[in-house]
Amino acid sequence: MNEFINFDEISREKWQNLYKTSIPPLTHEELESIRSLNDEISLQDVQDVYLPLVHLLRLYKKNREDMSFSKGLFLQKIVKTPPLIIGISGSVAVGKSTTARLVQLLLSRAFPKLSVELVTTDGFLRTTADLKAQGILDRKGFPESYDMEALIEFLYRVKNGETCELPIYSHEIYDILPDQVQIIDRPDILIVEGINVLQNPQNQMLYISDFYDFSIYVDADEKLIEKWYLERFDSLLKLAKSDEANFYHQFTKMPTDEVVKLAKETWASVNRVNLREYIEPTRNRAEIILHKTEKHYVDKIYLKKF
């Protein structure tokens, strides 16, 4: 059975011609400022792939506004359009953070009078102390290591027009930052990025998927993602070399062959397992799949039919 049976496959060449925009292009410096470690992206990618995507998001936003207006007419009262919430998912090291920041920047250009916020579900990871207490530190990144009830409550409150706080996760210390929070103050558009964005935990009355108006899955061949993961691990070690507070500093004291072996084992026992069992199975829940090939080049786009 075709795994993309409910999607239209669109080549990059066709996709780039679907919409020509007047949104001011980014500068090279702006693009570099949002690029994640070891991710590759160009101004041509912005023009060919992401500007048409932003136009599609504009259509979804307009549709939401029209629906709220129609619902108001039906109920004979003013119905405020809730924030547009966009989910962005994919494997570790596939480049979803860069995609999220780029979409945020482009939407801010497209809607200069609206607030566009970005959060990462890393903030809903349980603390290292909690994971140790539960005996699941080795399962960090897997579904049970997240406080999904807190994430659902956060999304509900944002949709309901409330100001919210969420914890901040630091990749440098590999833990939640104590006494620091990110404040999300009733945004018009919220982007939620993370490996678990499309997973479907529920509380007694709500599914996490209830809150997304549009979702994006960043995809690539597993072997490529492994390559990018190992390259990123190496870059993180170089950055941590002179920073003793950095979680990765401990590995800089190890022989190179041992570090490479550790990185490969971590990929095989944690990230690959998580990808196969929990992340990739959510791919077909996305509205759009951005498929990457070598050097993070987006060669195909899959758009859900219905």
Q: Which residues are annotated as a binding site for ATP?
A: 90-97
The token duo for 196 is 């678990």
Closest CA to 88 of 75, 99, 102: 99
Could you tell me the CA-to-CA distances from 58 to 15, 54, 107, 137 in Å, in that order? 16, 6, 9, 41
Q: Could you tell me which residues are annotated as the binding site?
A: 90-97
Q: How many CB atoms lie within 10 A of CB 261?
A: 12
DSSP characters over 115-144: -EEEEEGGGGBPPHHHHHHTT-GGGTTSGG
DSSP characters over 152-173: HHHHHHHHTT-EEEEEEEETTT
CA dihedral 273, 98, 104, 26 (to 10 degrees): -160
**Distance between CA 161 and CA 94 in Å, rounded?**
32
**Distance between CA 205 and CA 66 in Å, rounded?**
26
Answer for the pair 275, 281: CB distance below 8 angstroms, yes or no: no
Gap between the terminal Cα atoms of the chain: 18
